[in-house]
Chain A
Amino acid sequence: MIRFNGVSKVFQNAKTPTKGSQSALGGLFRKKATQQDGKKSSVIALDHVSFEVKKGRIFGLLGPNGAGKTTALRILSTLIRPTQGTVDVMGLDTVKDSQQIRQNLGFLSSDMNLSGNLSARDFLIFFGRLNHIEESQLNSRVGELSKYLEMDQFMDRRVSTYSTGMKQKTLIAIALIHEPDIVIFDEPTNGLDIMTSRIVLNYLKDLKARGKTIILSTHIMTVAQKMCDDMVIINKGKIIAEGTVKEILDKTQKDDLEDAFFELMGVDAV
């Protein structure tokens, strides 16, 4: 379904993030530890990464901040190109067939935002039209998502008045409006309260049940343990573990994923 083949990503002349700042390229580790903060340099975000995502499964992409998760997801969603290697999505290449791939993708990234005077309904209708959904089906699709994600109360309010949770729900609905075969969610429960998180995670399970392939990036290990069928753990742009939850637990001889994660990172658990 999806295959990363030796993918590397180097950002040339990217400003290395200074403490307290967030790089536009995502939190990236530095190639040269001796380089001074603020100076322009090359950074390796992904280093010969290869993995496969099977159809109809929830695939977890785990790692600390700056590990390269967002970069991998951006390459997969065709927003950026790999420096080396290829990514195949349903037999298509993310560089050569980017527009075709995007037809089948629903992408939610942690660095997306909504602003302006439109409402969630306006946005959903807009993105539905951009995805060429028939007008007759569009309203029912909007209604369905609104109901499932419990958005009815704020559907017609301006997004500029929304809370973080409301915006996140709207972004999720936008990513799913065209019922894509592949759903890529980067930290989908960010900023959500426990009740809303549950709704979103249940919806992901529902999507899986409908045969969709889901790629989930998260740093919340309990979510990953509960949701993911397969996973890779990335650190400093390299895969340090991959397999099912059971395989990773067996490998690290731990009882839960959080302890296994810390073990792999070489950090003592609390």
Chain B
Amino acid sequence: MKDTLTILRKEFANLFKDKRTVFSILFLPIIIFIAVFFFMNMMMQQEQEKLEQTIYTIYTNNPKIMEQITQGLNHSVNIITQTDNMEEALRTSSIHLAVIFDEGISFEEFLKDENKQIKMYSYSESSASANIRTIISANMHQLRDYYLRQELEENGLSASILDMPNLVQENVATEKEMAGGIFGSILPYMLVIYLFSSSFGIGFDTTAGEKERQTLTILLSNQVSRTSIAWAKILYIMIMNILTATLSVIAFSIGFTTILTDIPGNAMAAFTPSTVAMLFFVTLSMAVLVAAIIVVVGIFARSVKEASSYAMPIYIIVIIFGVMSLQPEAFKETSSIIFIPLINGILTLKQLFTSPELPMMNFGITMIVNLAVTGILVFLASRMFSNEKYVFRTES
């Protein structure tokens, strides 16, 4: 254990002596996240302002009805009746919408006659076109609703019939569940990405990289046991994984909440002490397992490049499960997944935030499976550190 800590200290000393590496590993992701979300937010606001200030050009064959429909709109509208090529005009934003009514239709017929047809043309790749289509469409429905209410009242009927049934909506989800739904979707995905991606750089540098640079032989020719070396490398990668994953998730959350302002419920309600404890232990089990995988792959590979290519398929599989976890209903009835190392962490984290009860059984299985596989990998890594086939396997 003492030797493990000595190697661990040396790894961290080596890392923290290089300010550029520390900056790029620990601080750059935070800055990038916050900057990306800041700019996204800024661009969304600018886009919104632009849409509000746009003078929407609508081509129609019936300007009278169109004027009625657009009356009272908060947006400036320019109605035209001439255009050379309607589709091309939409694509080039010369017009933003085309509304074609049946020939000779009156405003009354537009409201009353269900057999009359209105064709609306828009260009979905233009936000202005999509925006005015939504506005005009909503206004048409509103006008028709208004007319129907008038008609009903004129014929002695109550307009409230249109409001039937008397629909009262209640969501039984607790505040914790509502907030947890968001975290349950995003957190597992974010964690697996960062646990893996941060390992690639430092993890392969400290294993395959040391082989490539011929610095591992010095350590191996010393009296330190191979198990101590394996544990030191795994702990080093694990601590860095957790550190970078935590910082990145925090940075992401800060950034994310700046653009997603309407999170239902109290976001912090998802984090009860027991949830946080489980989150910590599940993340720890995933981090140590990822670190063990990286160490084994790193010792096996001839070079950092080769190690990255070996680890990529595992990374992709994990990402696929991470993406699947973004779906609210994912992993509801997938009991066998709990026995798959690493993937089980995604499942448990999702359930941790989305289930009304703490997933004790899945938590226990996840911990046992992940730690057991880690133990096997540590044993394998220590054997590989003793095996000349792997420690002297380089590309040079």
What is A's interface to B at a CB cutoff of 8 Å?
A: 21-22, 24-25, 74, 77-81, 98-99, 102-103, 105, 107, 109, 111-118, 122, 126-127, 129-132, 158, 171, 174
Contacts and interface: CB of A to CB of B under 8 A. Distances in A.
Given A112-B215, A112-B217, A174-B218, A130 B224 contact: yes
A24 B393 CA distance: 6
B343 to A, nearest CB: 34
A103 B13 contact: no
Contacts of B17: 117-118, 158
Contacts of A103: 223
A232 B6 CA distance: 39
A3 to B, nearest CB: 20
A116 B223 contact: no
A130 B221 contact: no
Contacts of B220: 79
B214 A111 contact: yes
A25 B302 CA distance: 13
* B-side interface size class: 20 to 34
Contacts of A98: 386
15 contacts: A22-B396, A24-B396, A25-B392, A74-B388, A79-B388, A79-B392, A98-B386, A99-B225, A109-B221, A111-B217, A114-B215, A114-B218, A115-B215, A117-B17, A131-B222
Interface string B201-231: 0000000000001110111111111000000
A130 B7 contact: yes
Contacts of A21: 396
A171 B386 CA distance: 22
A130 B10 CA distance: 11
Given A99-B225, A118-B14, A130 B388 contact: no
A130 B222 CA distance: 8
Contacts of A80: 388, 392
Contacts of B213: 113, 115
B93 interface: no
Nearest to A114: B215
For B10, B223, B392, the residue with the greatest tally of chain A CB atoms inside 10 Å of its CB is B223
Given A117-B14, A117-B17, A112 B223 contact: no
Contact of A171 (B218, B223, B225): B218
Nearest to B219: A130
B61 to A, nearest CB: 74
A157 B286 CA distance: 38
A22 B214 CA distance: 13
Contacts of B223: 99, 102-103, 130-131
A65 B215 CA distance: 22
Nearest to B225: A99
A86 B219 CA distance: 24
A122 B221 CA distance: 18
Interface in B180-204: none
B3 interface: yes
Contacts of B386: 98
A102 to B, nearest CB: 4
A113 B219 CA distance: 11
B217 A109 contact: yes
Given A24-B394, A80-B388, A131-B223, A113 B215 contact: yes
Contacts of B2: 132
Given A21-B396, A113-B215, A122-B13, 8 more contacts: A24-B394, A79-B220, A79-B221, A98-B386, A102-B222, A112-B215, A126-B6, A130-B219
B13 A112 contact: no
Give the top 3 A-B pairs by smallest Cβ distance, nearest first: A117-B17, A113-B214, A80-B388
A41 to B, nearest CB: 15
B30 interface: no
B18 interface: yes
Contacts of B13: 118, 122
Nearest to B7: A130
For B6, B7, B215, B222, the residue with the greatest tally of chain A CB atoms inside 10 Å of its CB is B222
A129 B217 CA distance: 17
B200 to A, nearest CB: 18
A158 B14 CA distance: 10
B391 interface: yes
Contacts of A107: 221
Contacts of A99: 223, 225
Interface string B358-396: 000000000000000000000000000010100111101
Contact of B3 (A25, A116, A130, A174): A130
Given A109-B217, A117-B17, A127 B222 contact: yes
Given A25-B392, A80-B392, A131-B223, A126 B10 contact: yes
A98 B224 CA distance: 10
A116 B14 contact: yes
Contacts of B221: 77-79, 102, 105, 107, 109
Nearest to B15: A117
A103 B221 CA distance: 9
B347 to A, nearest CB: 39
Contacts of A116: 14, 215
Nearest to B394: A24
Contacts of A171: 218
Interface string B165-182: 000000000000000000
Contacts of B218: 112, 114, 127, 171, 174
Nearest to B210: A115
Interface string B1-41: 01100110010011101100100000000000000000000
Contacts of A131: 222-223
Contacts of A118: 10, 13-14, 17
